[in-house]
């Protein structure tokens, strides 16, 4: 193998390594962006779950108050 041939191989190898390093960098950036988006979606879901729980508690309280009013009306009729 000649020195010239070896240099060509090394240059091709260096080019390929540079390409792979660039690809790795792009993939890491994409991963970081996706992780950020995932965390935002998780936060949104948690907030929606809290609101749902709050709404359910409010509905339960309204039902209890309505039942109490109905019970009072029943007692008044009796």
pLDDT tens for 7-62 read 999 999 999 999 999 999 999 999 999 999 999 999 999 999 999 999 999 999 99
What pLDDT shows up at residue 3? 87
pTM (predicted TM-score): 0.65
Q: What is the pLDDT of residue 39?
A: 98
Distance between CA atoms of 10 and 66, rounded to whole angstroms? Answer: 83
Handedness of CA 28, 30, 31, 35 (dihedral sign): positive
In angstroms, the CA 42 to CA 33 distance is 14
DSSP category for residue 2: -
DSSP label at 55? H
């Amino acid at each position: 193998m000649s020195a010239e041939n070896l240099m060509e191989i090394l240059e091709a190898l260096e080019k390929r390594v540079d390409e792979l390093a660039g690809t790795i960098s792009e993939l890491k950036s994409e991963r970081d962006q996706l992780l950020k988006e995932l965390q935002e979606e998780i936060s949104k879901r948690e907030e929606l779950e809290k609101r749902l729980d709050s709404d359910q508690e409010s509905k339960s309280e309204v039902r209890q108050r309505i039942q109490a009013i109905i019970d009072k009306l029943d007692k008044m009729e009796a």
